[in-house]
Chains A and B, each alone.
Chain A
Amino acid sequence: MAQVDTLWIVPGGVSLGGDTLAALRFCSTEEFQPSNETIHGDWTSTVFVNLDSAAHSLMIDVEDWGPVTVLAGDTVAVAPGELGEATHRVWSASQRGKTLGLATLWRSGYDDHVHFEWNLNEWDPAATWTAASGEIVSEDDPYVPRQFTINDRNYPNTLLDSSSYVQTSVGVPVYISIVNQGRMDQVLHFHGYHVKVLQSSAHENRVGWTKDTVPVKQGECVVVELNPNQPGEYPVHAHNLVAVTNAGFYPGGMITYLNVAQ
């Protein structure tokens, strides 16, 4: 995805697996786009222009960094300073923003290989319309998400997204940043390969481990390195199997593929 220095907060609607959802997205223009735009760079400043009808408290998971409020129709600049080599979560901490999926990642470094970026999320369509209407969605209500996404798309549309669908060759390593923006923990299983964990904000003891099944806790940022040793077309999918469905039907949800050429 292109590096941007201004993001617009834009309301809209998306279709997912037979459902229509209300949505809020970080967009690279004033036009609504179905997937949140990601942010890249260290020591950079990003300007947020809020085109929504409500204020948002913008958060980034950097130590000692408090929320920045951007009022409806207003503009703020966010400059978290030195990020080093890391992937961070950026999200709206307001209940409306969380329910409508206003969340992305800010990646700094890891530039020496091709880098893929996966924002994981899950969706309760009825709750999105409740939130869009300005009503409160209580986190105490029963939560039964029915759509599960990588970069705001569910399978098979994940394969249309160049950041979800990993394409590389044998011996050509790639990085994958994975951020869980939802309310559930997720766990991803890589077919065909083990990956090396480079960053795990909720499992710091696992940095350096080599895994084929990688948990990504609620709010967690994980970076893995895939160095393919064999060619093939292999799935990567949530192994919490409710998350590989679209409105209850398999296959769907959080599934994408690794395409490794000889």
Chain B
Amino acid sequence: MNSMSDLISRWTLALGLLTFLGFQTQAQMAPPQLFSEMDGLHFLEDGSAVPFWGYGWVADGFISLPGPLLEYAEGQEVNLAFTNPSPESHTIHLHGLDVDQANDGVPSTSFYVSTGESTDYEFTATHTGTYLYHCHVTTTLHLTMGMYGMILVTRPDGTLFEGGPAVTQNVPWLFSDLEVATNLDPVGSFPFHDMRPDVFMVNGKAGSQLAEEVVYASAEEPTALRLGSMAYSKITCHFPEGLNAELWMSDGREVPVEVLDSLEIYPGERFTVLVQPEVGYDGGVTAAFEHMVDGYEEAEEFLQIREESLHPSHVASLDEPTWYPNPASHNIQVTESTGRFVRVWTSVGELVFEGQVPASGLDVVSWNNGLYLAQVEGRDVTRFVVAHGIR
């Protein structure tokens, strides 16, 4: 088993490569490019870290669990660029999008993306809805290690589908799970038939990590919950009466509208549920994770939903700070920081700056290449990359 210091060392070593990828994107600019890596660290509710494999945007320079949300417009001709610098071959299976065989992401019928190779997945986003993507190489292992994400295909006018209801926002909830022992020792994880996940997540978070993930929903117009599962477990969502939950779509297709009090979601399924809570509603959705072999309920997660009038105005008025240019080589600026205290850490937690960012920005000439975490007072943590050599 790898020690934490070994894992952090691997992570640090990987930063150089991620920085290189960031540099590549700076040169390319467009289109956005996904990459895969096998050296991520995912922090659990208790603060411990488990390794994961995953996808990330090259421009961001880091992988995430789950991978980035991919969003396309109905009818869009999509060219999804993907590069694989990781030590093993990977693919992207576009789950539910009914792409042609060459773009299906199944190695035996399409192709592998080997170490150091890049490719483009091409398809037309013909139907609005909720979809998934995941690696289809040794799927049992690569999926449980974290190589998955969600795709939304939406309409510019905010309607679910042609002639469908307009929604005020789309809220992706991607259910998944992992078995810590497998992620710590993926090579020794066989046989897979005794897989027993012990971490149960929504958008990569579990338990108290979800406490801050509050959805503020209008009482006047519906909010679309985009539900999908990449779990080994069966998920059952319970919708309290005050949410006025209705089922509208499944697997990227319209279904007869049903009022919901609960919904089972099997691995790979997707549903679009509209909620329109009563004024003053403060509750949420309970998601039960049930083992597929023996039916044992392993865990419950709670996803809080509040009616919009309860939304704290000081949070609603702020945009997230943005660091630019990113990657940076000499000087980096940040938005939304005037008069606010800022802290910057390396990816392994070493504090490298605290104070107010001067008008001229932060001088990063002497900083090492790599990923940095930054927090503007009162705001979420954001990230940027330092990569010397950028013009």
Contacts and interface: CB of A to CB of B under 8 A. Distances in A.
Interface residues of A, number: 39
B97 to A, nearest CB: 9
Contacts of A84: none
Contacts of B140: 241-242, 244-245, 250
A187 B269 contact: yes
Contacts of B85: none
Interface stretch (B56-64, B100-108, B217-225, B379-387): B100-108
A107 interface: no
Contacts, number: 122
Contacts of B6: none
Interface stretch (A126-134, A172-180, A232-240): A232-240
A187 to B, nearest CB: 4
A143 interface: yes
A56 interface: no
Interface string A238-262: 0111101101111100000000000
Given A213-B266, A248-B193, A240 B101 contact: no
Interface residues of B, number: 40
B99 A194 contact: no
Centre residue among B141, B143, B193, B252 by max chain A CB count within 10 A: B193
Contacts of B190: 248-249
B143 A241 contact: yes
A113 interface: no
A215 B269 contact: yes
B98 A146 contact: no
Interface string B89-119: 0000101101111001010010000000000
Contacts of A210: 251, 253
B251 A212 contact: yes
A191 B106 contact: yes
Contacts of B192: 241-242, 245, 248-250
B294 interface: yes
Contacts of A66: none
Given A191-B106, A208-B256, A235-B109, A242 B266 contact: no
A205 B194 contact: no
Given A240-B232, A247-B193, A232 B101 contact: yes
Interface of B: 93, 95-96, 98-101, 104, 106, 109, 138-141, 143-144, 190-195, 232, 234, 250-253, 255-256, 258, 264, 266-270, 292-294
